[in-house]
Structure 1
């Protein structure tokens, strides 16, 4: 059976400047879906007195607790380090997070959940799974996997655009 790599087959562009309309924008639709998910999660997590900007770092620290700094947290969350520092100040004031000097490098300040912070952070995954499952209502497992695969392809295409272009090496040069 012959299979053709779908990426190798030239296809006409999906969007053109002449026919582009915001209501058909993939980016706008993805933003609306994300906003819907985050607003509902925020609404449900409001009982914990947390905003999206606060529960997301707590959840990240719960998932990846070792050697996390404000810089690595900002990178992982794809947000501005200064913004993360402000959020961490609030979380520290709520006694949910603490900053600890590294034992191996005193210049490094690692982040850790307090016991209270861990208890709060552990309440986030059940809420997120409920919100996500409600957004996926009516989807089959196969449709979900297909959607995830398509989104990964979009992401890979975006990453490929940002990859540095390497000039071919001239084998005859000394």
Structure 2
């Protein structure tokens, strides 16, 4: 694989760096979400929490941390702000009192209706179709798996 780099005029040129492309793409895409999420009172990380909870209705903090790939110390302030906004509720898990459970409130469920428009809006603003975005998602998922498996 490293031999493929022999064909690249300058393998250290900024425009040839995968890390640079990923960082710029991430910042650019997140910037598209900001004006869509602001009227809903959400930041992008809070939106990700809500997506997980809309899908599962209730999760332990440990499960949520694993799903979002965030450490509990990063997740805790997000949950506090969402709870203050009455979008989620935190309490002991009825199945295991040792775990803290996070549940969507009625207000949080109502917010989902507004959020359902977000994917189509993002697709439109990116000017990319569903198949193209699915391919991109698959590629990024492979990159994540390879990066987390790397020594």
Query: TM-score, normalised to structure 1's length?
Result: 0.71
- Root mean square deviation of aligned Cα: 2.6
Gaps of 5+ in 2: none
Which of these residues, 25, 36, 40, is aligned with residue 33 of structure 1?
A: 25
> C-alpha deviations, 1:64-99, integer Å up to 9, x for none?
224x12222122112221121111111111111001
Which of these residues, 37, 56, 63, is aligned with residue 72 of structure 1?
A: 63
CA contact (8 A) 1:70 1:81 kept: yes
> Does 2:85 align with 1:94?
yes
Aligned-pair CA distance for 1:129? 3.2
Q: 1:13/1:140 Cα in 2 relative to 1: closer, same or farther (>3 Å)?
A: same
Mapping for residues 137-156 of structure 1, pairs under 5 Å: 137=127, 141=131, 143-144=132-133, 146-156=135-145
Q: Name the count of aligned residue pairs.
A: 149
| Match in the other structure for 1:161 | 150
> C-alpha deviations, 1:107-151, integer Å up to 9, x for none?
22211110001111342232133213432x25683x555544443
Query: TM-score, normalised to structure 2's length?
Result: 0.80
SS at match of 2:64: helix
Structure with more of its chain in helix, by fraction: 2
CA contact (8 A) 1:59 1:122 kept: no
SS at match of 1:111: strand
Which of these residues, 27, 47, 59, is aligned with residue 55 of structure 1?
A: 47
